[in-house]
Amino acid sequence: MKYRTLGRDLTVSAISLGCMGMTHAFGAPSDTKEMTKRIHEAVELGYTMFDTAECYTGTLPDGSTAYNEELVGAALAPYREKVVIATKCGVQHAPNGLITDSRPETIRKSVEGSLRRLGTDYIDLYYQHRIDPDVEPETVAETMSQLMKEGKIRYWGISEANEEYLRRAHAVCPVTAVQNRYSMMARWHESLFCTLEELHIGYVAFSPLANGFLSAKYDEKSKFEQGTDYRSSMPQFSAEGVKQNRELLALLEKVGEEKHATPAQISLAWMLCKRPSLVAIPGTRKSERLRENAGAAEIELSPEELAHIDCALNHMEMSAVFGGAKIIK
Ligand SMILES: NC(=O)c1ccc[n+]([C@@H]2O[C@H](COP(=O)([O-])OP(=O)(O)OC[C@H]3O[C@@H](n4cnc5c(N)ncnc54)[C@H](OP(=O)(O)O)[C@@H]3O)[C@@H](O)[C@H]2O)c1
């Protein structure tokens, strides 16, 4: 594993673990014992940052709620001082989209709930999960600054941040990381890279495999659980999407052959080699994929190889990619 610094001094593994899919959005919640084992395996492989959120919940067969933060907190308890726990506030899932609420009183209530579910007395990296159009960035930053002074959080970040919001928030309380979508199929935030460099803010890339699609292990015959597995309605996994993305998968296979790596590893190595302060957080419930994804940190792509891949990406046909649930408030 390789390690990188987010912001001024938060050191984390270049490939860190997105834990969301263990309870949320990728089918019914997985067995807790099994997922605890997976998190322990990740620690042994050198993963040091674990990503969760207060809203990553799922429904268990008896109708009760599976809280991702409880799973992650309990699994990491034996390693607490050695790992970075990242969680998020400010978003609730509703049947037709996301409800945002970043009022100071809501953030304060959320932080207490997260600390309780995680079973810890501090959160290493606390994100505002989505911009709340009704709350100024300065107000959110001031709340985060107070939480830092109280020792409840160590660093803060913003997910799906834009430049203006980030600059205003950062001026009040330095932001350590943005956590935005980023993959070969979702490159629209590349325009933020220069600003992040200027402000010394790290980039945590979520959905770096386009929800697994860039592993090239799925095709038009892949079946996903309707309702609980969001991939059942993601455009890149539809029969039409798979057809439109043939050239992209062929490129990944070809570069993979040249570099003795898998398509998933090439997808992750591509972004790591582009930005020294970028960290990817692929999610998986499987041991062999934890290892495979970690291996991406060892692959070197030269500036020429990156330019070649980017040029190909710029010119090829691609399907739409899942862009996240819509914000309804
Ligand atoms: N800030 C935000 O708003 C936001 C939004 C979405 C996600 N996130 C964070 O980002 C993390 C990752 O995002 P994501 O889960 O949406 O997308 P992702 O990491 O691009 O893809 C995860 C999916 O890919 C599969 N996968 C992973 N590695 C694989 C490999 N080597 N070969 C084949 N399949 C592989 C996993 O399936 P298996 O489990 O079957 O391996 C899983 O279904 C989440 O866990 C969450 O922490 C944040």
Q: What is the CATH classification number for the domain harbouring 135?
A: 3.20.20.100
Whether this prediction's pTM lies above 0.95 is answered by: yes
In ligand 1, the atom with minimum distance to the C-alpha of 212 is 24
In ligand 1, the atom with minimum distance to the C-alpha of 324 is 5
Q: What is the C-alpha separation between 116 and 241, in angstroms, rounded?
A: 42
Identify whether 224 is part of a domain.
no
Which residue segment(s) compose the domain that 121 sits in?
Answer: 3-213+264-300
Which residues line the pocket of ligand 1, CB cutoff 6 A? 18-21, 26, 51, 129, 159, 179, 206-212, 215, 217, 264, 281-286, 289, 292-293
Identify whether 326 is part of a domain.
no
- Ligand 1 mutation target, pool 13, 88, 207, 229, most atoms within 8 A of CB: 207
Identify whether 323 is part of a domain.
no
For ligand 1, atom 27: residue with the closest CA: 284
- Yes or no: say if 192 and 178 are a contact pair by the CB < 8 Å rule: yes
Whole-Å CA distances, 198 to 202, 204, 227 = 11, 16, 42
In ligand 1, the atom with minimum distance to the C-alpha of 265 is 31
For 147, what's the count of Cα atoms within 13 Å in the CB-facing half-sphere?
32
Helices within 134-245 (DSSP H only): 137-149, 163-172, 193-199, 239-244
Distance (Å) from CA 149 to ligand 1 centroid = 33
Identify whether 77 is part of a domain.
yes
CB neighbours of residue 268 within 10 Å: 29
Identify whether 177 is part of a domain.
yes
CB neighbours of residue 240 within 10 Å: 12
Among positive and negative, which fits the CA dihedral 11, 15, 16, 20? Answer: positive
Q: What is the C-alpha separation between 90 and 230, in angstroms, rounded?
A: 21
Among positive and negative, which fits the CA dihedral 99, 100, 105, 111? Answer: positive
Q: What is the C-alpha separation between 102 and 139, in angstroms, rounded?
A: 9
Whole-Å CA distances, 51 to 84, 123, 165, 234 = 9, 11, 23, 22
The residues annotated with a catalytic role in the active site are 56
Distance (Å) from CA 43 to ligand 1 centroid = 18
Distance (Å) from CA 122 to ligand 1 centroid = 25
| pLDDT score, position 329 | 78
Task: Give me the tens of pLDDT residue by residue for the chain, a chain 329 residues long.
Answer: 999 999 999 999 999 999 999 999 999 999 999 999 999 999 999 999 999 999 999 999 999 999 999 999 999 999 999 999 999 999 999 988 999 999 999 999 999 999 999 999 999 999 999 999 999 999 999 999 999 999 999 999 999 999 999 999 999 999 999 999 999 999 999 999 999 999 999 999 999 999 999 999 999 899 999 889 999 999 999 999 999 999 999 999 999 999 999 999 999 999 999 999 999 999 999 999 999 999 999 999 999 999 999 999 999 999 999 999 899 87
Distance (Å) from CA 206 to ligand 1 centroid = 8
Q: Angle at Cα 300 formed by Cα 204 and Cα 310, nearest 5°? A: 70
| pLDDT score, position 227 | 83
| pLDDT score, position 92 | 94
Element of type H or E holding 12: strand 10-13
The tally of domains found in the chain comes to 1
For ligand 1, atom 11: residue with the closest CA: 18
Identify whether 324 is part of a domain.
no
- Yes or no: say if 123 and 85 are a contact pair by the CB < 8 Å rule: yes
In ligand 1, the atom with minimum distance to the C-alpha of 53 is 47
Identify whether 54 is part of a domain.
yes
For ligand 1, atom 15: residue with the closest CA: 283
Distance (Å) from CA 26 to ligand 1 centroid = 8
